[in-house]
Structure 1
Amino acid sequence: MSPSVPPTMDRPHFIGIGGAGMSGIAKILAQRGAHVAGSDSRESETAAALRALGVTVHIGHDAAHLARDATAVVVSSAIRQENPELAAARERGVPVVHRSDALAALMEGARAIAVAGTHGKTTTTSMLAVALTALGMEPSYAIGGDLDAPGSNAHHGAGEVFVAEADESDRSFHTYAPEVAIVLNVELDHHANYASIEEIYESFETFVGKVRPGGTLVVSADQPGAVELTSRVRDMGGLRIVTVGEAEGADVRVVKINPRGLTSEVTVLLEGRMLTFTVSVPGRHYALNAVAALAAGIAIGAPARNLASALGKYTGVKRRLQLKGEAAGVQVIDSYAHHPTEMAADLEAIRGAAEGGRVLVVFQPHLFSRTRELGVEMGGALALADASLVLDIYPAREDPIPGVTSAVIIDAARAAGADVSAESDRQAVPAVVAGMAKPGDLVLTMGAGDVTDLGPLILARLGS
C-alpha cells in the first residue's frame, strides 16, 4: 500500500479531533507525513498522544483555530452546523470532508477489511488488528477505541491490509469498498437516523453491495438480522459469502465454547477440520467475534492455524469489559454497552466470571432517542444484575426529548424484578457503590458516556 496523503489532506483540520474515530484518522495522516491540526472541547489523554506525534490540538472551538493554509476541514456527524470552525471553513471555501470520506481515502489501494454490525465492531476490528500484527503482516487499522495506551486506536502499517471499523449509525459505511466485509449482527438502533428495521436492512444491503467484485462477506449464521441480510444479498454477483456461528449449516461452525474464568476456549469446524484456540476475554459474544475475525483473516490470506493462535494475543480494548482495578476485594470493570443486546451479553459474561460474588451495575443511558425507543429493553437487561444504579441520560449530540428520562428504564427494570435505584448525583456514586459492595463482588460501570470516569473514583473510595 502506498503511504501517500490525499492532496486535500496535506494540511487537514479536524473538528472534534479527540473523538475515537476522528483521532484515529488524524494519527494515520500524521504518520504518513501530513501537517495535522484540530480542536476538541476538552483536554484528554488522546489529545496529548496526538501532540506527541506533532499534531496541533486546540482546546475549545474558535474560528481562529482554523489555520490559513488548511487544505480541508474534517467533521463527523456529531459536529453541529453552527460550529464556528465549520462556519469559518465554509466562509473561506475550505473543503469540508466527512470523517468516513477521509478514512475511505486512506484505504484507497489497500486490501481493506471493513467490520460492521450493530454491536461488536470495535472488539472484532481490534482482534484482527492485534492478530494480523502478531503474524507480521503489518496492517494499518482504524478502531473505535484504544487497544491499551491512549492513541492506540489507529496505526499506519507497512503492509497491504487495512482493517477499519465501519459505522452504520449515519450510513457513513456506504463510503467504503472493502475486499472483505464483516457483518456481525443487524438490529434497530440509531433512531435519529433510521425510522425502521427495513431502513437498517437497506443500509446494510448498500454496504454489502460496495464489496469489491470477487470479495468476501463474513456474516453471522446465528443472529436473526444477519440471517435476514444474508438472504437478501445471497444473489449479489461476484460476492463470496462465508457464514460463521453455532448454526448447523455455518461455513465456519462453532462446535464448542468453553468458558474459563475471564477467557474462553473455542473449537470450530473449518473446512472439515477441528481447530481449537483461546480467546483471552470473557463471554460467548466475544468468542463469536473472534470466530468472525478468524474467517475474515483467512479470507485475506492469513494461515488459519497461525491466525487462530494469534487471536489469543488479543486481551481486550478499553471500555469493552476492561478491568479497571481491584480494591477491598471488589473488582471494578468498565463496559461500553449501551444497547440492550450489548448490555445483556456483557452482564451474562460477567455473571459467568463472578465466581459466587454479586454483579453490581452503574448504568448511564446514552442518548434520549435511544432511551425513548429501547428504555424498556434496557430495564429488562438490568434484571441480569444483582443491583443497579441508573444515572441521568448522557445526551451526547442530542437535545432533551420531553418526557424521556431514566425513569423509563428504572420502571421497566423494577417491573422485571430488578433491584434498581436512581442516582442523579454523579459525585455521590462512589460512596453509594462502596456502601453496597462486599468482597467478591464485581462492579460494572456501563454506558457509552462519561460513566467510565467513575471507575477510578469507585476504586479510590473502596480503598479508603
Structure 2
Amino acid sequence: MAPAVPSAMERPHFIGIGGAGMSGIARILASRGAKVAGSDARDSATAASLRELGVTVHLGHAAGHLAPDATCVVVSSAIRADNPELVRAAELSVPVVHRSDALASLMHGTRPLAVAGTHGKTTTTSMLAVALTELGEDPSYAIGGDLAGPGTNARHGEGAIFVAEADESDRSFQKYDPEVAIVLNVELDHHANYASMDEIYESFEAFAAKIVPGGTLVVGEHPGARELAARLSGRPGGPAIVTVGEAEGSDVWIRSLTPRGMTSEVAVVMDGTEHVFTVSVPGRHYAHNAAAALAAGARLGIDPAQLARALTAYTGVGRRLQPKGEAAGVQVVDSYAHHPTEMTADLEAMRGAAQDSRLVVVFQPHLYSRTQELGREMGRALALADASVVLDIYPAREDPIPGVTSELIIEAAKDAGAEVVAVHDKADVPAVVAGMAGPGDLVLTMGAGDVTDLGPDVLAHLSNRGSA
C-alpha cells in the first residue's frame, strides 16, 4: 500500500517543476494521488511527461499561476526570493516547503537508502533503482537524472525500499533519515555554500548522524570518504561502517576491473564470496559506484549474488557518458562532468574507449564561483583529450564575477600542453567540431549546462560532411 500523502502535500505547487529534483518529487506525489501543479521557465519533455500524469504545468512564472487552494509551495535553493509565485505565496500565507523537506516526507513509512557524495550520486542511485526493480522489489526512487531504461527520474513503487539521491550542495541531505547511506567521495565544491573542507566534513558528518539506529554507512575508497569514516568511527550510537574499494583490506573488495570497450567487467569479493558482473558504462569510477550499490543493497537484506546479476541490467542514465549517436564514423557521447575530478574520470574512461583514435571534447564550464576556484584544475583535466573546444561559462543561478571567464580554463589547458580553442557562440560549435573529428574519433560534450543540446547538431554536421 502506498504511504499516505501528507496533508500539506495534497495540493502542492512547484516553482521550477521541470528541474531534475523537483520533477521527480512531483511525479511521485502525482502517482500517490496528490493534485500537483507548478511552473517552469520553458516547456520540456519533462513537463510533457508530468502533464500525462495529470500535473498542471504553467510556462513562465507569474503570481496568477498559484492556485488559492494550494496547500504548499515547493521550492529549491535555486528559486530567488523575488519570484512572483513565491511572493504571492507569502501574500496568501501558503506554507513554503524546501524540496528536501518534501522528499523527506515521501520517505516516511519506507526503508530509505540515501546516496551521497561529491560525485557519482546519480549513477549509483540509478544502478540501485534499476537492479532492485529487476529483482521485483518495486522500489520508489528519486534521482537527479533520467534512467536510460524506464526513461524517468522518479517513480512511486509499492515496495518497502525508497532509493534517493542525497544532495549536499545546500546541506539539504541532512533532512533525511536513511536506514542505509552511501558516501562515495568527499571533496570541496559548491563554493557559494562551503568555504572550506572543514565545513564540507561537518555537513557530511551531520548527514551520517541522521542514519537510523542500527543503520549502515557505506563509504567509497576516495580519501575524503575514508577521512569521514575515520571521523565517525567509534562514536557511540553511530552507524556500522562498510568500506568499498580496490585495497584488499576493504570490507567489499573490488578484486579486479577489466575494461571491455564501453563496458567493464567487475569482480567483487564480499563476505568471502566473489561476484562477477558487467557495468555498462566504462571507467573505474563507475565500477566503484556499482560495488557501493552492491554493498548497500546487501545491507538492506537483498541477496548479493542476485543483486550482482541484476546490476548488469543497468544501461546508463542521461548525461553520464551517454551515447548520443554516430555519424561519418564519429561517435558522440555526452557527459555531465563539471568538477575537475569528474572531468578527469570521464576523460580517462573515454581515453581508454577511444584507444588509438582521437578524443575531442566540447567543454562548457558551469558556474562562475566553481570556475574561479577550480578553473586551472579544469584546464589541466582537458589535457587528457587530444583537442578541446571551450565555451563561455554557463551561469545557472549565479551572477557574473568580474574577471572570471573561460579564459582561466583555456590558459591552464594550454600551459598543460593541450590543444584548445575558445568558441563563444554555441551555434558555431557543431561546424568547428565537424572540422576537427575524423572517422573513428570520439567526441565528448561535457558540462552541467546546456552543452548537452549540442550532440544532435554535431551529428547533423558530421552527417552532412559525410554525404558531401
User: TM-score, normalised on structure 2?
Assistant: 0.98
- 1:210-248 superposed Cα distances (whole Å, 9 cap, x missing partner): 00000000001x211011100001123241111001122
| Equivalent residues of 2:36, 2:56 under 8 A apart | yes
Aligned in 2, Cα 1:150/1:26: closer, same or farther, shift over 3 Å? farther
Q: Which residue does 1:224 correspond to in 2?
A: 223
Letter in 2 for 1:229: L
Other-structure match for 1:72: 72
Alignment-derived partner of residue 402 in structure 2: 402
Q: Distance in 2 between matches of 1:150 and 1:459?
A: 25
1:175-214 correspondence to structure 2 within 5 Å: 175-214=175-214
Indicate the residue corresponding to 1:166 in structure 2: 166
Once the two structures are superposed, the pairs formed by residues 33-432 of structure 1 within 5 Å of their partners are: 33-148=33-148, 152-220=152-220, 222-236=221-235, 237-432=237-432
For structure 2, list consecutive stretches of 5 or more residues without a partner in the other structure: none
Answer whether contact 2:68 2:92 (CA < 8 A) is retained.
Answer: no
Letter in 2 for 1:225: G
Contact 2:148 2:315 survives alignment (8 Å): no
* CA-CA distance at 1:109 after TM superposition: 1.2
**Further displaced range: 273-282 or 97-106:** 273-282
The percent identity for this pair of structures is 73
1:91 CA displacement: 1.0
Unaligned runs of at least 5 residues, structure 1: none
* CA drift at 1:280: 1.3
* 3-state secondary structure, aligned to 2:435: helix
Residue deviations 1:304-356 (CA, integer Å, cap 9, x gap): 10000000000100000000000000000000000000000000001111132
3-state SS, counterpart of residue 400 of structure 1 = coil
Which stretches of structure 1, 4 residues or longer, exceed 3 Å deviation after superposition? none
CA deviations over 1:359-393 (Å, ceiling 9, x no partner): 00000000000000000000010000000000000
Conservation of the 8 A alpha-carbon contact between 1:219 and 1:226: yes
Counterpart residue type for residue 275 of structure 1: H
In 2: Cα distance, 1:99 partner to 1:238 partner: 27
Q: Distance in 2 between matches of 1:175 and 1:385?
A: 40
The whole-number CA distance in structure 2 between the counterparts of 1:337 and 1:248 is 29
CA contact (8 A) 1:72 1:96 kept: yes
Aligned residues: 463
Deviation string, structure 1 residues 224-275 (Cα, Å, up to 9, x no partner) = 1011100001123241111001122110011100001111111111111222
* Deviations 1:256-298 (CA, angstroms, capped at 9, x unpaired): 0000111111111111122211111111110000000000000
- Superposed CA deviations along residues 372-416 of structure 1, whole A, max 9, x for unmatched, are 000000001000000000000000000000000000000000001
RMSD: 0.9
Structure 1 residues 150 and 18: CA distance shift in structure 2, 3 A = farther
Amino acid aligned to 1:196 = S
**Distance of 1:357 and 1:105 partners within structure 2:** 50
SS at match of 1:326: strand
Distance in 1 between residues matched to 2:230 and 2:239, nearest whole Å: 13
User: Would the aligned equivalents of 2:282 and 2:350 in 1 still touch at CA under 8 Å?
Assistant: yes
Bigger mean CA offset, 384-393 vs 232-241: 232-241
Q: Is the 8 A contact 1:50 1:151 kept in 2?
A: no
CA contact (8 A) 1:111 1:162 kept: yes
| Counterpart amino acid of residue 210 in structure 2 | K
> 2:115·2:183 contact (CA, 8 Å) conserved in 1?
yes
**Counterparts of 2:242 and 2:153, CA distance in 1:** 27
Contact 2:182 2:219 (8 Å CA) reproduced: yes
Distance 2:161 2:300 in 1: 8
Q: Displacement, 1:2? A: 3.8
The 8 Å contact of residues 327 and 459 in structure 2, kept in 1 or not, is answered as: yes
